[in-house]
């Protein structure tokens, strides 16, 4: 199974990964709807930090409405079952589940890989 490998030291903060994610999943140029986020650590230490789901499964374990399922190692949220209680968001060890006021369920990575394709800096890569 594939996994994303993150290289924070290579990230330039360009946000192309966020833009392509939102375009792919919501057909919008709105990085705030991305399943990947870039934290800007400025002025100190002057770095970027990439936050994206590593498919650890904690979200499924804590979901009280059984809205998250494991589909071949990828954790997927069923919007019809989700009550937006945000327990999964609060318990995510990677801080990689996100809420947007226009989306009635948490946003998380589904390993589509579009971010890997647009990351010219090589900050996001595939690992088998």
Ramachandran angles phi, psi of 8, nearest 5°: -55, -35
User: How far is it, in rounded angstroms, from Cα 128 to Cα 126?
Assistant: 7
Q: Kindly give, in sequence order, each residue whose CB lies less than 8 Å from that of residue 128, ignoring residues fewer than 6 positions away.
A: 1, 2
> pLDDT (tens digit, 9 = 90+) per residue, 61-111?
999 999 999 999 999 999 999 999 999 999 999 999 999 999 999 999 999
Q: Kindly give, in sequence order, each residue whose CB lies less than 8 Å from that of residue 6, ignoring residues fewer than 6 positions away.
A: 50, 52, 123, 124
- pLDDT score for 1: 74
Rg (CA), the chain: 14
In the predicted model, what is the mean pLDDT of the chain?
Answer: 96
User: How far is it, in rounded angstroms, from Cα 41 to Cα 90?
Assistant: 21
- pLDDT score for 116: 97
* DSSP secondary structure code for residue 78 in this structure: -
Nearest to 105 by CA among 41, 70, 59: 59
- Contact call for residues 22 and 28 (beta carbons, < 8 A): yes
Domains and CATH numbers, the chain: 3-119 (3.30.70.20)
């Amino acid at each position: 199974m594939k996994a994303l490998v993150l290289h924070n030291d290579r990230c330039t903060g360009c946000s192309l990964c966020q833009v392509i994610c939102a375009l792919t999943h919501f057909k919008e140029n709105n990085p705030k709807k991305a399943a990947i986020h870039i934290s800007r650590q400025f002025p100190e230490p002057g770095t970027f930090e990439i936050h994206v789901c590593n498919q650890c499964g904690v979200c499924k374990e804590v979901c009280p409405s059984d809205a998250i399922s494991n589909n071949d190692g990828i954790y997927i949220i069923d919007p019809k079952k989700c009550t937006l209680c945000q327990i999964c968001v609060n318990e995510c060890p990677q801080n990689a589940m996100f809420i947007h006021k226009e989306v009635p369920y948490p946003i998380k990575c589904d390993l589509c890989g579009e971010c890997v394709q647009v990351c010219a800096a090589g900050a996001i890569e595939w690992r088998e």
